[in-house]
Amino acid sequence: AVLADNDHQVKLWTRNSEQAQEINGARKNMRFLGEAALPEGIEATTDLAEALKGAEAVVFVAPSAAMREIAKLAAPYISEHTCCIHATKGFETDSLKRMTTVLAEELHRKEEELVVLSGPSHAEEVVRKQPTTVVVASSNQEAAEYAQDLFINSYFRVYTNPDVIGVEVAGAIKNIIALGAGLSDGLGFGDNAKAALITRGLAEIGRLGSAMGANMLTFAGLAGIGDLIVTCTSQHSRNWRAGSMLAKGLAVEEVLKQMGMVVEGIRTTRAAHVLAEQYDVPMPITEQLYQVLFASKPPKQAVEDLMGRGRTHEIEEVAKSWGLHQSEPPVI
Ligand SMILES: NC(=O)c1ccc[n+]([C@@H]2O[C@H](COP(=O)([O-])OP(=O)(O)OC[C@H]3O[C@@H](n4cnc5c(N)ncnc54)[C@H](O)[C@@H]3O)[C@@H](O)[C@H]2O)c1
Ligand SMILES: O=P(O)(O)OC[C@H](O)CO
């Protein structure tokens, strides 16, 4: 919708012919976006070759679990000059790869040429043209600026950022913390608990990001704290909603069935549990979520275990695990 509002000719690929007809006819996508009106410039199709023919830019927005399969299908129709952008938040579950790595492998492109778009951006608000800010990250500044030009407008402000790793790690891990925030709200805990989850969640994102090679300043930005705040506090968030349902005692499978939409945080918890081990970084919130989701741990017990952890010193702990020296400002 943002691209069509910017007068680009947009082809939207879907597997579902009824959805394509609804978008082209009624200019709506009722199941996912309710009554929101979609711009005229969008043409939905179930024919992937037709969708990609002559495209100057391609935006991949499939759930992380489907990214490799879709990139493989799309690869034959994408030229080496096409700008490839993705807005998916998660890791590949088995390989633990970031989405730009998966895309680069399947599209036979250099990871440095690809762009990731991320930040606090619930689709329900964007489609209603409510003020939204995001980042487009690429190691290639030209590619990032090209993506910035495509998307930026009066209600959708786009910043560039060279730190692809930081933006992708933040976008994936914030969904785990949002599951925790939903769980906390569902258990009847208050704003103190949620603020604690957001803050200590950011520490956790920073630890993994630092170990994986991110620029720590990314986590102070839109893809970091910005997206963490919106996903932990917005009722649009599927991850928050899934967490609140888990608190009511629903099993993971039942939560997914009732949601009928992707809840990235669930798969990402599994991936981050392994990444934390691999990189040897403590991720206590992720670990407790893992126990609740995959080892039947009662959510209240998880809260008790988090609160009962050994005493620690805030600044020393953050400085050490984020790889910062307390006396020196971080290097940009
Ligand atoms: N919804 C948002 O506000 C929002 C904002 C920013 C980023 N994201 C990210 O975008 C990604 C997609 O989320 P979403 O909100 O669109 O999810 P969704 O569940 O609303 O929609 C996912 C769509 O992908 C389709 N799909 C699933 N597997 C597929 C496959 N193998 N081949 C083709 N199509 C397939 C589904 O049929 C569905 O239409 C996620 O990584 C999410 O974190 C979502
Ligand atoms: O609905 P969620 O929880 O998948 O979050 C959607 C976006 O990532 C918010 O920026």
Among protein residues, the one whose CA lies closest to atom 25 of ligand 1: 62
Which residue among 28, 53, 97, 174 is the active-site one?
174
User: 175 near 264, Cβ under 8 Å?
Assistant: yes
Confidence band, pLDDT 50/70/90 cuts, at residue 317:
confident
Q: Could you write out the three-class secondary structure of 186-250?
A: HCCCCHHHHHHHHHHHHHHHHHHHHHHCCCHHHHHCHHHHHHHHHHHHCCCCHHHHHHHHHHCCC
pLDDT in tens, 211-224: 999 999 999 999 99
Q: How far is CA 94 from CA 28, 114, 211, in A?
A: 35, 22, 19
The pLDDT confidence band at residue 320, using thresholds 50, 70 and 90, is: confident
pLDDT at residue 327 is higher than 60: no
CA nearest to 279, candidates 219, 217, 207, 215 = 207
Q: What is the pLDDT of residue 322?
A: 78
Residue 304: predicted pLDDT: 97
Which residue is closest in CA terms to ligand 2's atom 6?
Answer: 122
pLDDT at 116: 99
* Residue 325, pLDDT score: 64
Residue extents of the structural domains in the chain: 2-160, 165-321
Each residue's pLDDT tens digit, 269-305? 999 999 999 999 999 999 999 999 999 999 999 999 9
Q: How far is it, in rounded angstroms, from Cα 79 to Cα 83?
A: 9
Interacting residues of 275 by C-beta distance below 8 A, sequence separation 6+: 91, 96, 208, 212
- 97 — pLDDT class (breaks 50, 70, 90): very high
With a cut of 70, say whether residue 79 has pLDDT above it.
yes
174 is in an annotated binding site: yes
CATH code of domain 165-321: 1.10.1040.10
Q: Which CATH number fits domain 2-160: 3.40.50.300, 3.40.50.720, 3.40.50.620, 3.30.420.10?
A: 3.40.50.720
- The pLDDT value given to residue 324: 74
DSSP for 55-102 reads -SEEEE-S-GGGHHHHHHHHGGG--TTSEEEE---SB-TTT--BHHHH
Distance 61 CA to ligand 1 centre (A): 6
53 is catalytic: no
Least confident of 80-84, 265-269, 322-326: 322-326
Which segment of 112-121, 150-159, 299-308, 323-332 scores lowest on mean pLDDT?
A: 323-332
pLDDT for res 145: 98
ipTM of this complex? 0.98
Of 157, 149, 154, 159, nearest to 8 by C-alpha is: 149
Q: Provide the token pair at 90.
A: 């998660």
pLDDT of residue 200: 97
Annotated binding residue 239:
yes
| SS (HEC) of 11-38 | EEECCCHHHHHHHHHCCCEHHHHECCCC
Average pLDDT over residues 31-46: 97
- Residues paired with 135 in a beta bridge: 118, 159
Residue 110 labeled ligand binder: no
CB-neighbour burial class of residue 76 (10 A; exposed 0-12, middle 13-18, buried 19+): exposed
DSSP reduced 3-state for 139 = coil
Q: Helix 191-212 to helix 314-321 angle, to the nearest 10 degrees?
A: 30
- Residue 286 CA to ligand 2 center (angstroms) comes to 17
**CB 92 less than 6 A from any atom of ligand 1:** no
Q: For residues 161 and 205, what is the distance between their CA atoms, to the nearest angstrom?
A: 18
Residue 15 in contact with ligand 1 by CB distance below 6 A: yes
